Structure 1
Amino acid sequence: MDLVLLTKAAIMGIVEGLTEFLPISSTGHLILAGSLLGFTSEKAKVFDIAIQTGAIFAIILFYWRRLVDTAARLAGDGQSRRFVANVLIAFIPAVILGLLFGKAVKAHLFTPTVVATSFILGAFVILWAERRPASTARIHSVDDMSPVDAFKVGLIQCLALIPGVSRSGSTIIGGMLIGLSRSTATEFSFFLAIPTLIGAGAYSLYKERALLSVSDAPLFAVGLIFSFIFAWLCVRWLLRYVATHNFVPFAWYRIAFGIAVLITAHLGLVNWAD
């Protein structure tokens, strides 16, 4: 395997791990990073989706005890069944819309310009959400969420089909807007990521299996490993961060980054490949 290609895979894994659970769009950053690295083939698009599984392994490891305890009590504990049901309810809308429109979205919206625009528009939503007083939060634990709350978060997650919107950003900020506390919205976003990203990765690998071969295993392995490591570090940091901080700095980052992409593209300073 080409060392340069493996280096690109490592960089893409780092980008995925650092951005997957922050409200700044991992898909958008992967599109931009791939454009800069010349990593934009059809196989690279499958790679981008597949390495999200590495980030999910970090979530599974981080919440291993909670997940095992929930599974063990599922048969006889109503709270555990409600928790699992809520995650599945929130998962369903993205499955339906992804299957219906995913191909069209990838064909027409996976471009640096769309990503940059989504960065900026999403930032203003974050700023608006953070202007609301914290006292408006009515739910302070994922165990207190109702099926209706979960379904609302699931509908909002569908906005993340547009690259640059951010799956984490849409579910966290959307959760806050419907009454979840910042920490509860963040934690539910983590749990919802497990079926969402594993499902997306498995479906993409199956659908595009003709593009792949055994020789691609080292490439995907490197991406998964780096994605896992940096996602683990990011999740640990983010849970501490949301306990005492808001998401306003991420909004300003999105605006600055989005404007930088648009300006460099317009002036021809960077050849952002569509």
Structure 2
Amino acid sequence: MKVLVTGAEGQLGRDVTALFQQAGHQVLGCGRSMLDITRWDACQQAVNDFGPDTIVHCAAYTAVDAAETDIDGAYRVNAIGTRNMTTAAENCGAKLVYISTDYVFNGRSSVPYREYDETDPQSVYGKTKRAGEQFVQSLSTRYFIVRTSWVYGAHGANFVKTMLRLGQEKPVLQVVNDQLGSPTFTVDLSRFLHELVQTEKYGIYHASNAGQCTWFDFTRAIFDEAGKAGIQLTARLEPCTTAQFPRPAPRPAYSVMDHMAIRANGLTDLRDWREGLHDFIQDLSTRNQGIE
């Protein structure tokens, strides 16, 4: 299979590119310097030249707080860029995977969101990602929209690496304890995407590691797994509320997603989030990657 990956220099894109290559596929990883997805002509040219069977569209504007003021910039990447990649995929007959987010929901539910629940994004970031979904749904005939949440991995900055670093630097670490979600390890998500694109079971999917926790619970687990891996963290953890740490963009209080489409289509669900976290920190320690 010939696979084109956008956002290939990013956290998820790098793992998708590596995993698909290891599986024997011919992969063209396109980072920002190689492909400006906001340029329609550039997207058409790149796709026409490579002729992929599948496009995994990981490129995104993910600076949630910055998007609140850089509205045009966020829409340019997440909506217009997605339109460009979708039309390019459709023109060459390629399957398209669009990586979306829990932020398309309003975060006020008390039960896990299903794939066909009404969306109601509250932040500019969430609205731009929902706009990208709408372009995919209206312009593609062979699409997978994959919503995920709380993503972390070996490449780039993320919550796990930040907590590992702050756990060594600060005497006390306050972490929000009133937002509930599901952490997702990029390697596990990449494996799911690899299985998914080999099917024609098109539609919307929710894909995060199984289970749920608050950011405070997640941090306690990070500290616990770090201890098992021989990483010494000295900070004392304290729970706090979202209101104590106001941010420009609203965060969903509840973003747990039900994986109904994975079950209904007989696909392999992602493992429990604690298992993914354990493997990630063990690997981090083994490779002496250090804490960024």
- Identify whether the pair has TM-score above 0.5, normalized to the shorter chain: no
Give the number of the structure with larger relative contact order, counting CA–CA contacts within 8 Å between residues 6 or more apart.
Answer: 1
TM-score (norm 2): 0.27
Hey, which of these two has a bigger chunk of helix by percent? 1
